[in-house]
């Protein structure tokens, strides 16, 4: 079993933090379906932004029993330490540091995965954050700046020396962004190099993928990202396979309907009607993928601007069984 400081996780399957996706309602659904760990969307280390509605929404504690983990991103050691302390004071039980995001707007300020090119700065950030807070600090990285400079093992050793309690590794470099296939050889080398729990991330789309990656890397667990969008049931499937139990059947139409309504209602409650309706649209599209009529439904749904009408339209779609014929 994986332990992160005082937190003993119930299984080995993590939800990857994803900006604009892993908000409180989404994390709650994934936890309900079996995820053992689900950090918040990343927030800036600039404490001047912490009073904004966007930041408050991102760090809102989810209504589940998982450790309340908040992910921070930045490039300045002292600023990162202050951001960590701010979030711990607000209730964070784990601080997760993002050194894996490949987005240009993050990397151009020398944050996220751009930090992997500067191991000394990595060390100073980790040392400052760990020294500043009493809760466990975790780290998410990529395998290096580029395919020709995969320094994941070096970064992992720095992380272990500086007191990081758990390390998630996405099997691509910063330069790869999300192109091509994830490679897990570097993750396997990291597992061999350090004694802290290492979590393998990248292209885990099924229970079979999770088992294959764990066997290949020897990692302590797996982290699921984009494959969970509109598919929180992936967690129960992976957990069952890793426990040696039969993999559950895919969700029924009523289960999908129930989960989508929970997500949409959660968006309305968290963000308010105006923003909530708009944020819910992408979740509606994800949950309806693969069903005949989904494209036309999505197009119409994108024009709805009232919360009650959005919920009613979702229910109307799911109460018409003919729409559930899988598209050819």
Residues with active-site annotation: 101
Helices (H), 91-200: 104-107, 119-132, 152-161, 185-193
CA distances from residue 298 to 233, 259, 273, 308, 309 in whole angstroms, order as listed: 21, 17, 19, 16, 14
Phi and psi based region of residue 201 (left: phi greater than 0; alpha: psi -120 to 50; beta: remaining): beta
Under 8 Å between Cβ of 136 and 164:
no
**First-to-final CA distance of the chain:** 42
Burial track 92-111 (b if 16+ CB lie within 10 A, e otherwise):
bbbbbbbbbbbeeebbeeeb
**Chain-centre distance for alpha carbon 282:** 16
HSE, CB side, 13 Å, CA atoms: give it for residue 147: 7
Residue listed under structure tokens 């649209």 = 281
Closest Cα to residue 69, out of 110, 104, 36, 34?
36
What DSSP character marks residue 63?
Answer: S
Given the DSSP bridges, would you call strands 7-8 and 3-4 parallel, antiparallel or unpaired? antiparallel
């Amino acid at each position: 079993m994986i332990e992160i400081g005082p937190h003993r996780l119930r299984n080995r399957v993590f939800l990857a933090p994803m900006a604009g996706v892993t908000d409180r309602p989404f994390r709650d659904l994934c936890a309900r379906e079996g995820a053992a760990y689900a950090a918040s969307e990343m927030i800036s280390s600039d404490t001047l932004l912490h009073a904004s509605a966007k930041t408050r929404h991102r760090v809102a504690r989810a209504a589940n029993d998982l450790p309340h983990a908040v992910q921070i991103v930045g490039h300045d050691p002292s600023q990162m330490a202050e951001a960590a302390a701010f979030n711990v004071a607000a209730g964070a039980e784990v601080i997760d540091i993002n050194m894996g995001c490949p987005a240009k707007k993050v990397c151009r300020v020398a944050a996220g995965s751009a930090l992997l090119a500067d191991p000394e700065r990595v060390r100073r950030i980790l040392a400052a954050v760990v020294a500043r807070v009493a809760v466990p600090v975790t780290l998410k990285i990529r395998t290096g700046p580029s395919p020709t400079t995969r320094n994941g093992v070096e970064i992992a050793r720095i992380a272990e020396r500086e007191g990081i309690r758990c390390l998630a590794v996405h099997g691509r470099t910063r330069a790869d962004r999300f192109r091509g296939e994830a490679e897990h050889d570097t993750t396997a080398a990291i597992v061999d190099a350090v004694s802290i729990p290492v979590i393998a991330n990248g292209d885990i789309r099924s229970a079979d993928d999770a088992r294959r990656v764990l066997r290949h890397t020897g990692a302590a667990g797996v982290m699921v990202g984009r494959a969970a969008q509109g598919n929180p049931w992936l967690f129960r499937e992976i957990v069952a396979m890793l426990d040696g139990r039969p993999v559950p059947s895919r969700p029924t139409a009523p289960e999908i309907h129930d989960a989508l309504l929970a997500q949409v209602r959660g968006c309305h409650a968290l963000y308010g009607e105006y923003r909530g309706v708009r944020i819910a649209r992408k979740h509606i599209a994800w949950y309806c993928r693969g069903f005949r009529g989904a494209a036309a439904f999505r197009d119409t749904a994108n024009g709805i601007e009232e919360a009650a009408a959005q919920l009613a339209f979702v229910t109307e779609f799911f109460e018409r069984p003919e729409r559930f014929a899988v598209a050819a």
